[in-house]
């Protein structure tokens, strides 16, 4: 029984990490005043690049960084459209959600003999487990804490982002641009630069989130690997009230739903269709949005284009 609880907790943490990377991206972008609906597409391209680079290079850290850069490039496209050309941020994000999977599948066919799946990574090409061997094998502590490095990195980034947003001058500028860009502009803060920084960083983090799926949770990329996680991360941003620590708790909740789904599906505790069990994280997302979206207040200028002099 104790090991079953450990399995649920450990699996929850593993599935929460990709969501957490991506949700932190949403937090930084929206705090700078730009809605990033395109997190799903950025996660997808990150997952593909991570798996492809991991397969050909064999180094998980190089693959992880490459995935972040890929997500950042797609975020740059979103920034150019929404910040420089004042395009509708939601429409631009939706375009990224179509572009990310399309580019990933196109390149996959080129690199992997027409296949839309990358080849499986070797054990050495997957993310390492830094605490492997520290605890007795299959013990309660081992099941919970013997996690991939991405899990620990995601939680470290929560503190780093919280500190940056609320304890540094850069964070103050980011939040000022997201709340009242005109006032920030009169004080000499470049709204354009801050928003570009926030959006590109959100893409890098979403790319990390995708890689946390393809080179840690699983060992390859396939078309259905990223199927709604970006939108669940957006829900976590709203549920977490646009704060890093709030997003973390929301991602843990959604990760727990996935962990429970995996446990119930594998243990055969209750006789429920696997398709119905797979719906649990998405149903929980809808419940959270319905229950909390009206109680959360986004940064005042989030989603609004800004032109100097207005």
Note whether 48 and 118 are within 8 A (CB): yes
Residue 302 lies in a domain: no
Q: In the predicted model, what is the mean pLDDT of the chain?
A: 92
- Is the pLDDT at 267 greater than 70, yes or no? no
Average pLDDT over residues 152-157: 98
Does the residue 30 lie in any domain?
yes
Task: Render the burial of 78-106: b for 16+ CB within 10 Å, e for the rest.
Answer: bbebbbeeebebeebbebbbebbbebbbe
* Closest to 206 measured CA to CA, from 80, 70, 90: 70
Read off the pLDDT of residues 12-70 as tens digits, 9 standing for 90 and up.
999 999 999 999 999 999 999 999 999 999 999 999 999 999 999 999 999 999 999 99
Query: Which pLDDT score, from 0 to 100, does residue 42 have?
Result: 98
What is the per-residue pLDDT for 309? 59
Instruction: Determine the straight-line distance between the first and last CA of the chain, rounded to whole angstroms.
Output: 62
Q: In which domain, by residue range, is 221 found?
A: 2-295
Q: Alpha-carbon distance 53 to 116, whole Å? A: 15
Token digits for 87?
A: 């395009």
- Domain membership of residue 129 (yes or no) is yes
**Looking at the 3D structure of the chain, how many domains does it have?**
1
Q: Is 274 a residue whose pLDDT tops 60?
A: yes
**What pLDDT does residue 57 have?**
96
Sign of the dihedral defined by the CA atoms of residues 31, 36, 40, 45, in that order: negative
Average pLDDT of the residues in 79-100: 96
Q: What is the CATH number of the domain that holds 182?
A: 1.10.3470
For residue 290, pLDDT beyond 80: no
> Alpha helix locations (H) across the chain?
2-31, 39-57, 60-79, 89-111, 140-145, 149-167, 169-179, 181-186, 191-212, 229-239, 244-267, 274-278, 280-292
């Amino acid at each position: 029984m104790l090991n079953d609880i450990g399995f649920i907790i450990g699996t929850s943490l593993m599935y929460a990490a990709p969501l957490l990377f991506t949700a932190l991206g949403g937090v930084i972008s929206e705090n700078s005043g730009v809605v990033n609906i395109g997190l799903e597409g950025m996660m997808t391209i990150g997952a593909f690049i991570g798996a492809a680079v991991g397969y050909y290079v064999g180094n998980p850290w190089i693959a992880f960084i490459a995935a972040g850069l890929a997500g950042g490039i797609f975020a740059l496209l979103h920034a150019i459209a929404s910040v420089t050309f004042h395009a509708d941020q939601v429409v631009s994000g939706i375009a990224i959600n179509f572009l990310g999977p399309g580019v990933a599948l196109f390149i996959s066919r080129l690199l992997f003999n027409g296949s839309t799946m990358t080849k499986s990574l070797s054990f050495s090409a997957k993310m390492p487990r830094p605490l492997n061997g520290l605890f007795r094998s299959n013990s309660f502590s081992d099941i919970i804490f013997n996690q991939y490095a991405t899990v620990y990195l995601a939680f470290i980034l929560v503190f780093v982002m919280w500190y940056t947003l609320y304890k540094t001058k850069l964070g103050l500028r980011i939040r000022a641009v997201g709340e009242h860009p005109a006032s920030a502009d009169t004080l000499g803060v470049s709204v354009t630069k801050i928003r570009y920084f926030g959006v590109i960083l959100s893409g890098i983090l979403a790319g990390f989130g995708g890689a946390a799926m393809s080179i840690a949770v699983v060992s390859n990329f396939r078309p259905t690997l990223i199927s709604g996680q970006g939108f669940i991360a957006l829900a976590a941003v709203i549920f977490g009230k646009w704060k890093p620590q709030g997003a973390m708790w929301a991602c843990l909740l959604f990760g727990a739903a996935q962990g429970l789904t995996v446990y119930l599906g594998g243990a055969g505790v209750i006789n429920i269709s696997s398709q119905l069990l797979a719906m649990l994280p998405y149903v929980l997302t809808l419940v959270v949005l319905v229950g909390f979206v009206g109680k959360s207040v986004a940064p005042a200028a989030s989603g609004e284009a800004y032109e100097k002099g207005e």
